[in-house]
């Protein structure tokens, strides 16, 4: 049975997100650094915290596939088939062409964006109640190994964010990163990470 999160923890994280802040939170894969994916200033802070150049795009989480159409010009038919086939499986990030309605500094140079539909309770509730996509990037300085557990997150990251979520801090189960698939304009598929 999945552990329940504390509603006050969720509300505190939402307050920070709505004010343009940056949080550290558990996702369906590893712990993530996140912000409102439509807020360019907040996205810039995430790049700064990770010491990462903003030409390297970050992915976003959504709480349901039905919301995809709000963030890209056209959802490729191939994506719907992949999402359906992957239902209930390991988390999957799809890189879509022609993103829209997101912070411009979040997109790759070709205008694409990686989106993962989260089924994890806390990150799903964050997306639902924020009513916007949530940036999700691993909780580490760029180039350093990703923290698989909360206890592995560096003090530098912990001190740089505006709020550190309480939920699942003591969870010692090792989650795998998502698979990553890129779909281009012609609906060709490239497997980036198995």
Phi, psi torsion values for 126, nearest 5 degrees? -60, -50
Tokens of 114: 């990686």
The β-bridge relationship of strands 134-138 and 163-164 is: unpaired
Q: What is the DSSP string of 48-103?
A: HHHT--TTS--EEEES-GGGGGGGBS---HHHHHHHHHHTTSS-EEEEESSB-SS-
Q: Where are the alpha helices (DSSP H) in the chain?
A: 7-18, 40-50, 77-86, 121-130, 155-160
What pLDDT score was predicted for residue 75? 95
Tens of pLDDT along the chain (194 residues)? 457 899 999 999 999 999 999 999 999 988 999 999 999 999 999 999 999 877 678 999 999 999 999 999 899 999 999 999 998 888 999 999 999 999 999 999 999 999 999 999 999 999 999 999 999 999 999 999 888 899 999 999 999 999 999 999 998 888 778 999 999 989 999 999 98
Q: How far apart are CA 113 and CA 179, in angstroms?
A: 15
Tell me the three state secondary structure of residue 114: strand
What pLDDT score was predicted for residue 1? 43
Q: How far apart are CA 173 and CA 120, in angstroms?
A: 14
Burial of 14 (0-12, 13-18, 19+ CB in 10 A): middle
Q: How far apart are CA 194 and CA 191, in angstroms?
A: 7
What pLDDT score was predicted for residue 57? 80
Would you state the torsion angle of the CA atoms of residues 35, 36, 37, 40, taken in this order, to the nearest 10 degrees?
-90
What pLDDT score was predicted for residue 85? 93
Partners of residue 93 on adjacent β-strands: 116, 180
């Amino acid at each position: 049975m999945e552990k329940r999160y504390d509603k006050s923890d969720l509300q505190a994280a939402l307050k920070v997100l709505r004010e343009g802040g940056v949080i550290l939170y558990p996702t369906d894969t590893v712990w993530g650094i996140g912000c409102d994916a439509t807020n360019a200033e907040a996205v810039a802070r995430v790049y700064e915290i990770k010491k990462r150049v903003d030409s390297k795009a970050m992915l976003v989480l959504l709480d349901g596939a039905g919301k995809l159409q709000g963030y890209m010009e056209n959802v490729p038919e191939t994506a719907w088939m992949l999402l359906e086939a992957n239902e209930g499986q390991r988390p999957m990030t799809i890189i879509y062409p022609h993103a829209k309605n997101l912070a411009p500094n979040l997109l790759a140079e070709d205008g694409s964006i990686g989106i993962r539909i989260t089924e994890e309770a806390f990150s799903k509730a964050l997306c639902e109640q924020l009513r916007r996509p949530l940036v999700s990037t691993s909780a580490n300085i760029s180039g350093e190994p990703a923290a698989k557990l909360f206890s592995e997150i560096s003090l530098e990251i912990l001190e740089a964010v505006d709020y550190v979520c309480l939920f699942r801090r003591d969870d010692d189960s090792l989650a795998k990163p998502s698979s990553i698939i890129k779909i281009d304009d012609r609906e060709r598929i490239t497997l980036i990470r198995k």
